[in-house]
Amino acid sequence: MPPEATTAEPWAPAVERALAAHKTRPGALLPILHEIQHALGYVPPAAVPVIADALNLSRAEVHGVVTFYHEFREQAPGRHVVKICLAEACQSLGCEELLAHAKARLGVELHGTTADGAITLEPVYCLGNCMLSPSLMADGEIHGRVTPQSFDRLTAELREAR
């Protein structure tokens, strides 16, 4: 693939920056994917050949890594990402009810994004906050002892923050 074909893509600068920063490190692929996702919110499937080429890997290998790890997304998420912990400790204090509330309030299933594009709802299996269950992570910040009421307050704040 000629490089000119990709530079016009809106994601190209972020991908180039990630490759430049990490490609000579041993085991560079995960750091590269993290940086791309940090910049763009997802790893564009069209970037896979570019990454593969830079690391001298096959496209299948890069695609395999992107899709193996739960964290990496292939589509852009909403403006905010809320991850509800569904593991055992949070189960013991009703995370299933919290999840049901969240789905109903946001009108989405897991991995879905609200109609206004504000919030993507995802599952997570343990945030290490098991002594203050139920827990969730909103844009990288952990919240403990979450109730339906505090969930509603939080999502309202996220929407306001845009």
Partner 1 sequence: MSTRVFIPRDSGALSVGAEKVARAIATEAAVRNLPVTIVRNGSRGLYWLEPLVEVETPAGRVAYGPVSAADVPALFEAGFLTGGRHGLNLGLTEEIPFLKKQERLTCARVGITDPVSVADYEAHGGYRGLRNAIRMEPAAIVEQVTQSGLRGRGGAAFPTGIKWKTVLGATGDQKYVVCNADEGDSGTFSDRMIMEGDPLVLVEGMTIAALAVGAAQGYIYSRSEYPHAIAALTEAIQGAYRAGFLGPDILGSGKRFDLEVRVGAGAYVCGEETALLESLEGKRGVVRYKPPLPAIEGLFGKPTVINNVISLASVPIILDRGAAYYRDYGMGRSRGTLPIQLAGNIRHGGLVEKAFGVTVRELLYDYGGGTLTGRPIRAVQVGGPLGAYLPESQFDTPLDYEAFVAINAMVGHGGIVVFDDTVDMAKQARWAMEFCAIESCGKCTPCRIGSTRGVEVLDKVMAGQDREANVALTRDLCNTMLYGSLCALGGMTPYPVLSALNHFPDDFGLPAAEPAAAAR
Instruction: Decide if residue 153 touches partner 1 (CB under 8 A).
Output: no
How far apart are alpha carbons 52 and 111 in whole angstroms? 27
When the beta carbons of 12 and 124 are compared against partner 1, the nearer one is: 124
Query: Of the candidates 103, 137, 148, 159, which one interacts with partner 1 according to CB under 8 A?
Result: 137
- Member of 39, 110, 132, 159 binding partner 1 (CB under 8 A): 132
With contacts defined by CB under 8 A, name the span among 7-15, 21-29, 111-119, 152-160 that binds partner 1. 21-29
Residue 34 touches partner 1, criterion: CB under 8 A: yes
Where along the sequence are the contacts to partner 1 (CB under 8 A)? 26-31, 33-34, 55, 61, 64-65, 68-72, 87-93, 124-133, 135, 137, 140-145
